[in-house]
């Protein structure tokens, strides 16, 4: 099952502040909804333990995350993979940072999720809603953290 999402967050901070935040694995890791723990391995790799509740599939998933910052400092991509309970989830997301010209930054994001195993069998709409919630909440949490 392959699902795709897009969205946008207006962040009340300048490009440099947003870039510093989205490239910090400790800060980004704590933006995931229902995160239990974040273990940073190096500047671009971390693991996150997140609580999952999709239909009858409930518990904790361990996700490996890789940050892929562009040298332009205007785009960040992220690869996530992991799972639990015989299920596997792969998420890829990316965001373009756009100077809105008024001291704010637009984070134009997209993401896609692929699920296998019992979590994929839950049903398209339930899984689709959960994956979209996870991705959009994570970017929304970035905005919230950067709102001074």
Q: What is the pLDDT of residue 132?
A: 75
Residue 127's CB is within 10 A of a number of other CB atoms, namely 21
CA pair distance 103, 106, nearest whole angstrom? 10
Cα Rg of the chain, angstroms: 15
Please state whether beta strands 2-11 and 105-116 pair in parallel, antiparallel, or not at all (unpaired): antiparallel
Give the closest residue to 95 by CA, choosing from 146, 139, 45: 139
Q: Which of 77, 106, 82 is nearest to 93 (CA)?
A: 77
Closest C-alpha among 144, 129, 132 to residue 10: 144
Sorted by where each starts, the structural domains of the chain and their CATH numbers stand as: 2-146 (3.30.530.20)
Strand intervals (E) in 2-44: 2-11, 35-42
| Separation of alpha carbons 60 and 2, rounded Å | 21
| CA contacts within 13 A on the Cβ side of 3 | 23
Residue labelled with tokens 């994929």: 120
Q: pLDDT at position 137, please?
A: 85
As averages over each run of 10 residues, the pLDDT of the chain (148 residues) reads: 83 95 94 91 94 75 93 95 84 93 93 80 68 81 87
């Amino acid at each position: 099952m392959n699902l795709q999402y897009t969205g946008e967050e207006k962040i009340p901070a300048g490009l440099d502040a947003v870039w510093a935040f989205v490239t910090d694995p400790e800060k980004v890791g704590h933006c995931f909804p229902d995160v239990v723990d974040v273990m940073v391995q190096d500047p671009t790799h971390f693991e996150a333990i997140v609580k999952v509740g999709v239909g009858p599939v409930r518990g904790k998933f361990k996700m490996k995350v890789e940050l892929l910052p562009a040298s332009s400092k205007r785009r960040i991509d992220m690869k996530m993979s992991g799972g639990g309970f015989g299920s596997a989830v792969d998420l890829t997301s990316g965001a373009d940072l756009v100077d809105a010209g008024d001291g704010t930054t637009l984070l134009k994001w997209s993401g896609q999720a692929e699920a296998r195993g019992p979590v994929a069998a839950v049903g398209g709409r339930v899984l689709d809603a959960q994956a979209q919630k996870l991705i959009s909440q994570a970017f929304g949490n970035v905005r919230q953290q950067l709102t001074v």
